[in-house]
Amino acid sequence: MSGRGRMNIEPTRLCVMDDIRDGPRRVVVEGEGLVVWMAADGQPRVFADRCPHRDARLSAGHVENGRLLCPFHLWAFDESGLYVGPDGVADPTCAVPGVPADVRDGAVWISRLPVRDPARCESP
Rounded Cα distance, 85 and 117, in Å: 23
Does 75 participate in binding ligand FES (rule CB under 6 A)?
yes
Element (H, E) at 96: none
Does 4 participate in binding ligand FES (rule CB under 6 A)?
no
Among 101, 107, 99, 123, smallest CA distance to 6 is for: 99
Minimum distance from residue 95 beta carbon to ligand FES (Å): 13
In the complex with ligand FES, the residue whose CB is nearer, 72 or 109, is 72
Rounded Cα distance, 84 and 61, in Å: 15
Does 96 participate in binding ligand FES (rule CB under 6 A)?
no
In the complex with ligand FES, the residue whose CB is nearer, 21 or 54, is 54
Does 47 participate in binding ligand FES (rule CB under 6 A)?
no
Q: Which amino acid is at 23?
A: G
Question: What are the strands of the beta sheet with 25-29, ordered from one edge?
Answer: 25-29, 32-38, 44-48, 98-99
- By rule CB under 6 A, what count of residues binds ligand FES? 8
In the complex with ligand FES, the residue whose CB is nearer, 68 or 108, is 68
Query: What radius of gyration do the chain's Cα atoms show?
Result: 13
Does 53 participate in binding ligand FES (rule CB under 6 A)?
yes
In the complex with ligand FES, the residue whose CB is nearer, 16 or 82, is 82
Residue 51: count other Cβ atoms within 10 Å of its Cβ. Answer: 26
Which positions touch ligand FES (CB under 6 A)?
51, 53-54, 56, 70, 72-73, 75
